[in-house]
Amino acid sequence: MPVTAFAAHRIALSAAAALGALALLTACGADTATTAGSGGRAAATRPSATFNEADVRFAQQMIPHHEQAVDMAELAETRAADPEVKELAATIKSTQAAEIALMRRWLHAWSRPEPSGHDGHAGHPMPGMLSDQQMAELEAASGARFDRLFAQLMIAHHKGAIEMARTEQREGANPEAVKLAKDIERGQQAEIDQMERLLQRL
């Protein structure tokens, strides 16, 4: 994917995530924790002081992984033909943008750096990430071809996220991060099931 193709999207997403994290920190205050809500995968909770390197790695890798999914979902706004594909893409965008903001807040609270680009933690490759060529192919597609390609690529992308989420559930120590990992696995598996059904009729 050319560097400039999604630069504006990433800048806007980073700014929105930063503002969201600032608002959440302000709402929590210095001494008061916020109770997690039952709705949505990225409920606003104050991060626990307990964390380990697996939690840090999970956040540092999942942020750029989610950012690529948001890039893909934004393409559907103008390229998708199927209403269900458009609706699913909008859900993916809003859900994962909220989760990005939450994980950025954790890293800030843990005094750990945010990832730069799509390289993830310490340059380790992340499962399910699309290559530059695949992103360029998706960007060039439209209509029914885009719908099929979007579903195929997003299924692979979601499977990679589930693999990362399962690792966090096994190795993580932070209760909020482990809960998000469980929510990601459950939510993205449901979206995989939906996209597999979509492919049967597209």
Burial 21-45 (b: 16+ CB within 10 A, else e): beebeeebeeeeeeeeeeeebbbbb
Once rounded to an integer, what is the mean pLDDT over residues 33-53? 58
Are 195 and 88 a contacting pair, CB within 8 Å?
A: yes
Mean of the per-residue pLDDT values of the chain: 83
**In this structure, what token pair is assigned to residue 15?**
């700014």
Cα angle: 187, vertex 196, 73; to 5 degrees? 60
pLDDT at 47: 62
pLDDT bucket at 45, cuts 50 / 70 / 90: low
Query: Residue 135's closest CA among 127, 124, 146, 143?
Result: 146
Dump the DSSP string for 93-128: HHHHHHHHHHHHHHHHHTT-PPP-TT--GGG---TT
pLDDT at 7 over 50: no
Q: Convert the pLDDT of each residue in 102-141 to its tens digit.
A: 999 999 999 999 987 655 444 557 899 999 999 999 999 9
Q: For CA atoms 139, 143, 149, 150, give the dihedral sign.
A: positive
- 7-26+54-201 topology per CATH: Ferritin (1.20.1260)
Amino acid at 73: A
DSSP summary character for residue 174: -
Q: d(Cα 166, Cα 90) in Å, to the nearest integer?
A: 25
Instruction: Delimit the domains of the chain by residue range.
Output: 7-26+54-201
User: What is d(CA 5, CA 26) in angstroms, rounded to the nearest whole number?
Assistant: 34
Give the pair of three-digit tokens for residue 128: 């399910």
- Note whether 155 and 196 are within 8 A (CB): yes
Measured CA to CA, the distance from residue 166 to residue 185 in angstroms comes to: 7
Q: What's the pLDDT score for residue 125?
A: 73
Please tell me which residue, 45 or 95, carries the higher pLDDT value: 95
For residues 168 and 55, is the Cβ–Cβ distance under 8 A? yes
